[in-house]
Amino acid sequence: MTKGRLEAFTDGVLAIIITIMVLEMKVPHGGDFKDLEPLLPVFLSYVLSFIYLAIYWNNHHHMMQTVTHVNGKILWANMHLLFWLSLVPFVTGWMGENHFTIASVSTYGIVLLGAAIAYWLLQRLIIKSHGKDSILALALGKDLKGKISPILYVIGILGAFLNIWISGIMFILVAIIWLAPDMRIEHALKNKTNKL
């Protein structure tokens, strides 16, 4: 039951974050197609952030399927993750409205990095409480994706000061890496079931 409510709360927060982001796309006063043009950077930022939040939801969903019990520490680690994700609409709006300035792109990367670290911490705590033979631990293995992502984020954050395209490529690259996140856990779940 505990787990159910943690999932429900996380779903609620993610659903709201993903939806209020669209409020940053202010309805233009003019009614022509050209009035949509200035919104293009905001729209592109929105698409990227939507994909990131969808990835987080998907991964969270898969991770929680391996979880059998939660404790106070896990609840707080989850809250910590939600805190970073709750900042996404703000940095998305800031980046979009200012047409990708160095500061806004770099700050966007910092928030993504914060969320990635928070997710990693949550994963650690779950594995710690479920044991090294738990499905999650087996599924992650060496967790290559989890190790590479922060490095790419840091390149993105610092790269913005040279050329914001470096950041753009890094942030898109991480998204692509994670777009197929489930295979590991889905396979691990199947293996575990087959062995029984």
Q: Which residues bind a copy of itself (CB under 8 A)?
A: 1-2, 5, 7-9, 11-20, 22-25, 27-33, 35-36, 47, 50, 54, 57-58, 61, 64-65, 71-72, 75-76, 79, 82-83, 86-87, 89-90, 93-94, 97-99, 101, 103-104, 107, 179-183, 186
157: phi then psi, degrees, rounded to nearest 5: -65, -50
Report the nearest approach of a copy of itself to the CB of residue 57 (Å): 6
In angstroms, what is the minimal distance from the CB of 171 to a copy of itself? 17
| Nearest residue to 127 via CA among 84, 190, 80, 73 | 73
Is the CB of 69 or the CB of 124 nearer to a copy of itself?
69
Side chain identity, residue 172: I
Q: Which is nearer to a copy of itself, 31 or 131 (CB)?
A: 31
Cα dihedral across residues 26, 32, 35, 37: positive or negative? positive
CB of 181 to a copy of itself, least distance (A): 8
Residue whose structure tokens are 């395209």:
165
Q: How far is the CB of 28 from a copy of itself (least distance, A)?
A: 7
**CA distances in angstroms from 98 to 24, 65, 148, listed in the order given:** 12, 40, 29
Measured CA angle at 84 (ends 80, 85), to 5 deg = 110
Q: For residues 78 and 60, what is the distance between their CA atoms, to the nearest angstrom?
A: 10
- To a copy of itself, the closest distance from the beta carbon of 195 in angstroms equals 20
Q: Rounded to an integer, what distance in angstroms lies between the CA atom of residue 65 and that of residue 188?
A: 11
